[in-house]
Chain A
Amino acid sequence: MSKLYVFGIGGTGARVLKSLSFLLAAGVKCNSTSIVPIIIDPDAANGDVNKTVEILQRYKSVRSKLSFDGENSNEFFKTDIAPLNSNFRLNIQDSKKKFKEFIDFQSLDKNNKALISLLFSRKNLDANLEVGFKGNPNMGSVVLNQFNISEDFSDFASNFSQGDRIFIISSIFGGTGAAGFPLLLKNIRSASPNLNNHAILQTAPIGAVSVLPYFGVKRDENSDIEKSTFISKTKAALRYYEHGVNDSVNSMYYLGDKLVKDYDNHEGSVKQQNDAHFIELASALAVLDFANDTNVTVNKVREFGVENSNQNLTFNDLAGQTKTDILKPLSKYYFFHLYLKNKLRQNLGADFAKRLGFKEPFLNEDFYQKLTRFNDSFWEWLQQMSTNERGFSPFTLSNDLDLFNSIKGLKANKSFMDKTNNYERVTAFLNKKAKKMNTSEKTENRFMEVFYETTEELMADKYRL
């Protein structure tokens, strides 16, 4: 019963959490019994955050209908996601003000005002915090230093128990993440005695991933954010981390890539909704690496690499361990999604559906609706990663009938039975698996079980995996 508290700071944090949820849905191994995602972002309307929250809520809803008591072998959605509150966020107070109001600039004396003016530009002071810190960690570090009075933070502390772990996701070159990470770290390691479990927190295992620059933004006159500052900010942050972070973090993960794509330049809010990137997936792998690490008492630093540096990565370009970790789960979930999307409804008369009691009404229930929407997000995630630069496109992402050729670089075993369409083959596997299952459990469990088992069989039969 060990939880992993995952703080996702800023846009990058949200997007990594999103990747993490898909990996967990696919059944990638996680030794923590549950993940507690906590999103920290004052940008209330941030597109990425909202998207992630939506996805996490769906995950939770789907998972709540499933049981993992050892009776069945299903590992889709195995890891529990148990937020502290319903919106998965840590509330940032007074985030609707302007920065100068936040620091109560007006009430400062002349000397302090002068000091403030040195540190913060006019623009900074007038900035509306609603949209975050727009790449200004100096602002962020002030505003975010309110953890010690945050109710949500004290909830977190109360919830924390011996054996639990913490992971912090942030980007090093952004605004919110760069500031928030060290602040959060400080508040945990030097937890106020007023907080419950403050002693445990002080020695709790903490892992963190700092994502180095991996994308740019297009040049925009009206925007405060420009990519030329990304590198310099990174350098500045790293210099600070050397003293301020390294000793507090047990496992430090660094990830980055050559600047390749320029996203549309949105300062924040709804429009800040970047396409999913492989780096985020890799960051999620860092979370899992930490969760599964048996020895986190020794301080360590980790980096991530791929085998072949192609502009568009497939499974074969990944290093051995990465490939082993994600190829099978993602492929299984990929087939799972496609079957549900393209064939399930018309196959309600098939043997497995009859045997396991999957009828039309089930498809209209909350569970299935949430699941399919979750899966649509999964598909979108794959699509975005495939068209991004550097891209990650291990699948053909086509909707045609040639299902078994979907995994790039992997040749499927052809059997003579395949000459009818591949989906029929899947139905046949479903029928076969359904026969061996006992039908005494809930429909939702049976549903996931049969698809898990079937996709497992598919991988073994077609790809010898």
Chain B
Amino acid sequence: MHKPYFIKFLILSLFINIACEGGRGSGNRDEVATSGSMVPIIIEKDLPLDATVKIYFENTLSMDGYINGNTDFKDVFRELLVAVDNEDVIDLETEFYLINDKLIKESFGVETTKIADALSKQSISKGNRGTSNFEDVLNTVLENQTGDVISIVMADFIYSPGNETDTPSALNKLKTYTKEAFLKAGIADKDIETTIYRFSSRFDGIYYNINNSHIKGINHRPYYYFVIAPSNLMTVFEKQISPQLRNNKGFENEISFSPRYFENIPYQVFSATKSNGRINTRNGIEIVDYPRQGNLEFLVALDLTGVPLHEDYFLNKDNYHLGNDQFIIKDIGTINGKKLNFKTEGKTPINPSDLLKIQGKDYTHVILVSAKGLVSEDLKLSLRKSIPTWVNNSSSNDDRAIKSDSLEQTKTFGFAYLIEGISNSYIQKTGSKEYFNVKIPVIKK
């Protein structure tokens, strides 16, 4: 394939392996290695030596506002390019395309990392800059998604129904079509994961609403990166590159879609830290004594290292589902060394007895579970594939009054339907609405 890169990688990997903490990764990329984000990850066995990052810029007229002058958009883009370039686990090659109804590969005659700065109204004025057909763009991108490729589509994703006069019906069609497109792409032998990042940038340009009215004077607008990649490459992206993106002050939110179902999530029930009542954790949860005051409470620690979702997703109670109504989730926190950091209840040290239980293992999160009364059924905890509220909050069904509505200015027309389409495709593909399911036997008193 790319011989110079191969040799470069070989030398690079040797360097890395010698330079890294001794004993680890002696040429074997299956072992744990540290990345720039200082979070140890387990690199999957089938990681390719190199891959291509295909960045697509939807160069419709509505995108001009993001690249007029030095914008946040360009900052983020620049950081993306640099991060990709610096990424050292796999040899990544960057390709830049302008996309509307045509696919135009472009380098602006500069180094990859300089492409962001090279963007301007003039430099992107190629092809048909009128509205782009959403479906076609997606199709093209997904068709080019073969092999070891990470596709990143940068666009505002404002939906134009085109000739469709019935807006709700058009929006539903968007949903259906998106779902179909993603399903088709998933037929390839690699499972495709999708992460959508939402940013906000200063905007200096024209907003075209549903009636195609040209609206000026909107100063900030959201835009999105649609990152599509096979699971193994997505893991690399998530750990190596997205931290840089999130660091940017323009970053607002993200949502991930994965076809994977995570079996055998390791769990450990704590019996001492933040517990109310007495339980025996040897064979599940054995109730020894209900507390005199208050409800039975205990912590369940989970090892979610293998689940490539964002922290915020894990820490959101609403994303979880309990299999029966005997239990509720009171709080969720992360494990940091010997301490727990809860979303609402703050920091707590881990009781030494519980610490011993997780010694030498990689538990990442804890869930504070509370029992409503007496318990008799097993604790069934699952993480749902749900669409977070920010998606709905970012979605607009009617953007005609955008000039006067500052809230509307933060929204993207039809966004929720787009996302739902993607979500449905994943649900249909995997046949599951859950990422993982943990069942802990409960032995009643």
Determine direct contact between A and B, CB below 8 Å. no
Interface residues of A (CB under 8 A from B): none
